[in-house]
């Protein structure tokens, strides 16, 4: 995939726009401008990494991912399918997550690996990925952000991002979906970049998928 190692070409425009339109983001961007979001250019790898990260902390996900990479070696469908599910569980994956990863690897070998993901719209990517068992909107949005570098994605199901928005914009008090949406809508058409910097306030180390 041509996006490997690349950062979005819209980043400077986006950070300028967000800094002018949102005082809170302006401070975060000034303090934490680098590093930028960078794509690994590998939808399968990012998908497996996102499954690992479902509903656990970034620190826990990094630990499990490191063990899984060590067990699998080259993170491709063929290598994944050579690993015993019990070995995956010993890496820290639940039985369910291990089954999801194996299912994705099987689907990749049977045709999904041939899809030109960069040519698809955001909605088409979401529709294709959420057809897979264990892949919901959040995981699909991680692909759109981290692999395909789409500019305008906010993962409403990301609890870390939501809690950080509540802390930054509402003194830590809970906000309903409509209130969160009102804030994130103001970040259009660069919600991905805003999300990246919100995440930087959630965890000191940059999120990576």
In this structure, the answer to whether residues 168 and 129 fall within a common structural domain is: no
In this structure, the answer to whether residues 65 and 133 fall within a common structural domain is: yes
96-135 burial code (b ≥16 CB/10 A, e <16): ebbebbbebbebbeeebeeeebeebeeeebbebbeebeeb
Name the band, by pLDDT with cuts 50, 70 and 90, for residue 206.
Answer: confident
Residue 207 reports pLDDT greater than 80: no
How many domains are contained in the chain?
Answer: 2
In this structure, the answer to whether residues 129 and 86 fall within a common structural domain is: yes
d(CA 55, CA 53): 6
Q: Which of 42-46, 54-58, 147-151 has the lowest mean pLDDT?
A: 54-58
The model's pLDDT over 67-77, given as tens digits with 9 standing for 90+, comes to: 999 999 999 99
The pLDDT assigned to 76 comes to 96
In this structure, the answer to whether residues 131 and 174 fall within a common structural domain is: no
The model's pLDDT over 85-124, given as tens digits with 9 standing for 90+, comes to: 999 999 999 999 999 999 999 999 999 999 999 999 999 9
In this structure, the answer to whether residues 21 and 84 fall within a common structural domain is: no
Task: Please check whether residue 31 lies inside any domain of the structure.
Answer: yes
- Specify the CATH number for the domain of residue 182: 1.10.1670.40
User: Which of 128, 147, 166 is the last residue before a domain boundary?
Assistant: 147
Domain residues for the domain of 21 are: 11-38+153-202
Q: Which residues contact 4 (CB under 8 A, 6 or more apart)?
A: 39, 40, 41, 42
In this structure, the answer to whether residues 103 and 168 fall within a common structural domain is: no
The residue-averaged pLDDT of 138-151 equals 95
In this structure, the answer to whether residues 126 and 52 fall within a common structural domain is: yes
- Specify the CATH number for the domain of residue 113: 1.10.340.30
User: Which of 147, 173, 192 is the last residue before a domain boundary?
Assistant: 147
Task: Please check whether residue 207 lies inside any domain of the structure.
Answer: no
Residue 205 reports pLDDT greater than 80: no
The residue-averaged pLDDT of 136-152 equals 95
In this structure, the answer to whether residues 20 and 53 fall within a common structural domain is: no
Residue 57 reports pLDDT greater than 90: no
The pLDDT assigned to 3 comes to 83
What pTM did the predictor assign?
0.92
The pLDDT assigned to 4 comes to 83
In this structure, the answer to whether residues 66 and 158 fall within a common structural domain is: no
In this structure, the answer to whether residues 139 and 159 fall within a common structural domain is: no
The model's pLDDT over 160-187, given as tens digits with 9 standing for 90+, comes to: 999 999 999 999 999 999 999 999 999 9
């Amino acid at each position: 995939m041509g996006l490997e190692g690349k950062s979005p070409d819209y980043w400077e425009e986006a950070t300028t726009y967000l800094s002018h339109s949102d005082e809170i983001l302006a401070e975060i961007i000034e303090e934490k401008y680098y590093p930028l979001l960078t794509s690994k250019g590998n939808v399968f790898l990012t998908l497996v990494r996102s499954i690992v990260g479902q509903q656990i902390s970034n620190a826990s996900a990094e630990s499990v991912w490191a063990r899984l990479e060590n067990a699998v070696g080259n993170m491709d469908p063929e290598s994944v399918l050579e690993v015993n599910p019990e070995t995956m569980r010993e890496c820290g994956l639940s039985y369910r997550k291990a089954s999801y990863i194996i299912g994705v690897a099987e689907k990749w070998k049977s045709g999904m690996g041939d899809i030109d993901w960069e040519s698809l719209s955001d909605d088409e990517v979401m529709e294709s990925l959420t057809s897979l068992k264990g892949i919901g909107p959040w995981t699909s949005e991680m692909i759109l952000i981290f692999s395909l570098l789409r500019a305008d994605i906010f993962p409403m199901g990301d609890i870390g991002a939501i809690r950080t928005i509540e802390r930054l914009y509402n003194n830590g008090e809970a906000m309903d979906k409509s209130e969160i949406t009102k804030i994130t809508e103001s970040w259009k058409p660069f919600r991905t970049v805003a999300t990246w910097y919100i995440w930087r306030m959630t965890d000191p180390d940059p999120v990576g998928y």
